[in-house]
Every structure is written in structure tokens, then in C-alpha cells.
Amino acid sequence: MSEILKIKGLVKRYKELIAIDHLDLSVKEGEIFGLLGPNGSGKSTTINCILSLLEYDKGEIEIFGKPMSPKAYEIKKQIGIVPQDVAVYDSLTVYENIDFFCGLYIKDKETRRKYVQEAIDFVALNDFVKFKPNKLSGGLKRRLNIACGIAHKPKLIFFDEPTVAVDPQSRNKILEGIEQLRNNGATIIYTSHYMEEVEQLCDRILIIDKGHTIAEGTVDELKGMIKKSEIITIEVAGLDNTALDMVRESNNVYSVSYENNQLKVEAGAGKHNVIDIVNLLQDKGYKMKKIFSEQPTLNDVFLELTGKQLRDE
Ligand SMILES: Nc1ncnc2c1ncn2[C@@H]1O[C@H](COP(=O)(O)OP(=O)(O)O)[C@@H](O)[C@H]1O
Ligand SMILES: [Mg+2]
């Protein structure tokens, strides 16, 4: 796979604040690449630097193998942008908005008409083409924003937090749509502070915090970077301290808590964690009810690598 986007040593300051601190990043053709970080970590700043919408202090940015610049029109026309804040014209209808953005890049009338219609179909706004944006719900407005960004069939598409303040149904539609765009041949860069979305959608993820790269890899690679690999929950009544100590001292276990008859055990990589603990409690005569085991989340990765929660809600 060829490299579509390459960033080396990107530095962006807002006065004293170093918003992006020597960021390296590489995205391959056909990937859905996730930029995951809490609010204020520098996701939008990174995107806006890549797109030459923002001047930066240092670094090199190449798109399609060529240096990106404010005047790199040949590159820009192959890029789609779905900005974090919905950016459409209130005075234009849904159709006119999509037509306007498409028309920035597609000059042939017939092609343009076809592309606009395909974008409308894609985000399912057919019933709303004559509406002005202020008559649309939040979710529909987001879909219009997406249609405006993708109508000209760009090869590389940036989605900056496209699901913030969107109802779950529209959110799923948006995520499905992004996968479809990739399946149709586009490369996607997707930013979010919702780890579940990024985990579900992205092939590779770069986690950032305060403009620094925290980690990069596939979901499995990221989860492999931390000690915790399994969280076991067992519903069991009346555990005494001796039993708790035995669990604590078991192979692989490094954290144990017990509250409201729920035993929670965090264990490192190992094959028999659940069986070992169940056997141990059974031997002591404890009756267990629900037992389940979970994988760590990207929040656990963030927590272990930075010492704080990724979640902010
Ligand atoms: N125009 C600006 N002027 C000054 N500081 C800014 C500006 N835009 C963003 N910042 C700061 O830069 C940091 C990164 O912001 P941003 O890129 O918007 O983060 P994210 O998109 O991850 O939420 C934050 O600390 C933010 O307050
Ligand atoms: Mg942002």
C-alpha cells in the first residue's frame, strides 16, 4: 500500500502554548486512520495544519507524495473535509449547499449534477433537498456537512469529530457511511474523543494528548502495550479476606476489588485466568453466579499510558 499522507516533526504553537509537539504520522492508501485524544489534545489543530488552513512552526507535510501548501490546488481537489463545526451556508438550501461545494472542484455540469445527487443519496437527505440548514435537526445538519465534504469524490477525506451531538441512529449511519466511502476506495482520517467509535471503525489509531503522541497501532497492538489484558467480574456472596488474598496472590492477577458481591479482577496476559480463579473459589466452597471476562478498552490504554481518563463525559 502506498503512503497517502506523511507528517514529520510537526510543531504548532499558539503563542506560548505548544499545541502540537513534534508529531509524526503516516497514513496508507485505503486505511481508516483514527486520531484519538481528549478535548484539547490537538486533533483539529493537526488536521488544519495538514490542510494548510493553519500556519505551523515546523515540520513537513506530504500528501499523495507531494509537499502540501496553501496553493497546492491539485492536491486540494482530491481532498474532502468534514470540519468539526458544521460549515454550510444558511441562505442556501440543502441541494444548493452540496452543489456549491461540489462545484468548487467539478466544473462539468452533467458530472456535477450526478455527483450532487449521489451525495444526497449517500447521506439520505432526499426528503430535505429544498430545506434551509436551520430547519434541519443536528443529525441531519451533520449529514449535510458530510455531503458537502464528499460530493466531489475525493481520494482522501478528513472527518473531524463528525458524531459530536448526534443521536445514536444518525451516528451509526455516519459510521457506516465512512466505511462505505473507504470500501469505494477513499482513504479516511477520522478524529474523535469517543474511543468506542475509533475502536469500531479504524484500522490504525494514533492516540494523542496535549499535542504529544502517546501510542500508535492497531486496536490489538495498542491493547498489547499495557499490562492489563483481562477484566474478570464474578458475582459471589460473602468472600472473606483469606479468599480475597488468595485471588490477589494468583498467577497473573495484579488488581482485585470486591464490592456489593462483585469481585473484580484485573489480570495480565494469560490463558486460564478465569478458570484459575473460578477453581480457586470453588475449592473454597463459594457459590458463584454471573461470571464474565472483558478485554481492556482504549480508555484503559490511555489510562495506563497517561495516568488519566480519556473520557470526559
Ligand atoms: N485559535 C487558537 N488560539 C489559541 N489556542 C488554541 C486555538 N485553537 C486551539 N487552541 C488550543 O490548542 C489546543 C489544541 O486544540 P484543538 O486542536 O482544538 O484540540 P482538539 O481538536 O483535540 O479538541 C488546546 O489547548 C486549545 O485550547
Ligand atoms: Mg477538535
Q: What is the pLDDT of residue 282?
A: 94
Q: Given 224, 252, 272, which residue is the final one in a domain?
A: 224
Which residues hold their Cβ within 5 A of ligand 2, which is an ion?
Answer: 43-44, 84
Who contacts 139 (Cβ-Cβ below 8 Å, separation ≥6)? 166, 167, 169, 170, 171
Burial code (b: 16+ CB inside 10 Å, e: under 16) for 277-290 equals: bbeebeeeebeeee
Which has the closest alpha carbon to 98: 160, 106, 172, 74? 106
Give the cell for residue 70.
496553501
The number of the ligand 1 atom at minimal distance from the alpha carbon of 211 is: 14
Ligand of minimum distance to the alpha carbon of 210: 1
Q: Are residues 129 and 214 both part of a single domain?
A: yes
Q: Quickly count: other Cβ atoms within 10 Å of residue 122's Cβ.
A: 17
Give the distance (Å) from ligand 2 centre to CA of residue 284: 53
48-53 — which CB contacts under 8 Å span 24+ positions? 49/10, 49/12, 49/20, 50/5, 50/7, 50/158, 50/189, 51/76, 51/79, 51/81, 51/158
Q: Are residues 257 and 182 both part of a single domain?
A: no
Q: Are residues 289 and 149 both part of a single domain?
A: no
Q: Given 224, 243, 270, which residue is the final one in a domain?
A: 224
| Contact (CB, 8 A) for 247 and 265 | yes
Low-confidence spans in the chain with pLDDT less than 50 = 313
In a domain, 127, yes or no: yes
Give the distance (Å) from ligand 2 centre to CA of residue 37: 9
Q: Are residues 189 and 281 both part of a single domain?
A: no
Q: Specify the residue with its C-alpha closest to ligand 1, atom 3.
A: 14
Give the cell for residue 264.
473484580
> pLDDT tens-digit profile of 1-14?
699 999 999 999 99
In a domain, 301, yes or no: no
Q: Are residues 182 and 287 both part of a single domain?
A: no
Ligand of minimum distance to the alpha carbon of 16: 1
Domain range for 194: 3-224
In a domain, 247, yes or no: yes
| Contact (CB, 8 A) for 22 and 42 | no
Ligand 1 binding pocket (C-beta < 6 A) is: 14, 17, 19, 37, 39-45
The number of the ligand 1 atom at minimal distance from the alpha carbon of 84 is: 21
In a domain, 19, yes or no: yes
Q: What is the pLDDT of residue 1?
A: 64
Q: For residue 284, report the phi and psi dihedrals to the nearest 5 degrees.
A: -85, 0
CA-based angle 208:212:218, to the nearest 5? Answer: 40
Ligand of minimum distance to the alpha carbon of 23: 1
The number of the ligand 1 atom at minimal distance from the alpha carbon of 39 is: 23
Q: Are residues 248 and 177 both part of a single domain?
A: no
Q: Are residues 216 and 236 both part of a single domain?
A: no
In a domain, 60, yes or no: yes
Q: What is the pLDDT of residue 269?
A: 80
> pLDDT tens-digit profile of 250-262?
988 989 999 999 9
Q: Are residues 81 and 45 both part of a single domain?
A: yes
Sheet holding 230-236, edge to edge: 253-259, 262-267, 230-236, 288-294
Q: Are residues 40 and 138 both part of a single domain?
A: yes
For a pocket test of ligand 1, which of 13, 16, 17, 50 has the largest count of ligand atoms closer than 8 A to its C-beta? 17
Ligand of minimum distance to the alpha carbon of 83: 2
For a pocket test of ligand 1, which of 14, 44, 48 has the largest count of ligand atoms closer than 8 A to its C-beta? 14
Give the distance (Å) from ligand 2 centre to CA of residue 39: 7
Q: Specify the residue with its C-alpha closest to ligand 1, atom 6.
A: 14
Q: Are residues 219 and 240 both part of a single domain?
A: no
The number of the ligand 1 atom at minimal distance from the alpha carbon of 46 is: 17
Q: Specify the residue with its C-alpha closest to ligand 1, atom 12.
A: 19
In a domain, 308, yes or no: no
The CATH number given to whatever domain includes residue 261 is 3.30.70.100
The CATH number given to whatever domain includes residue 83 is 3.40.50.300
Q: Which residues lie across from 256 on neighbouring strands?
A: 265
Q: What is the pLDDT of residue 313?
A: 47
**pTM for the structure as a whole:** 0.89
Helices (H), the chain: 43-50, 73-76, 94-103, 109-122, 138-150, 168-183, 195-201, 219-224, 241-248, 273-283, 298-306
Number of domains in the chain: 2
DSSP readout, 269-286?
S-S-HHHHHHHHHHHTT-
Q: Are residues 118 and 14 both part of a single domain?
A: yes
Which has the closest alpha carbon to 69: 54, 84, 87? 54
Q: What is the pLDDT of residue 312?
A: 54
Q: Are residues 260 and 207 both part of a single domain?
A: no
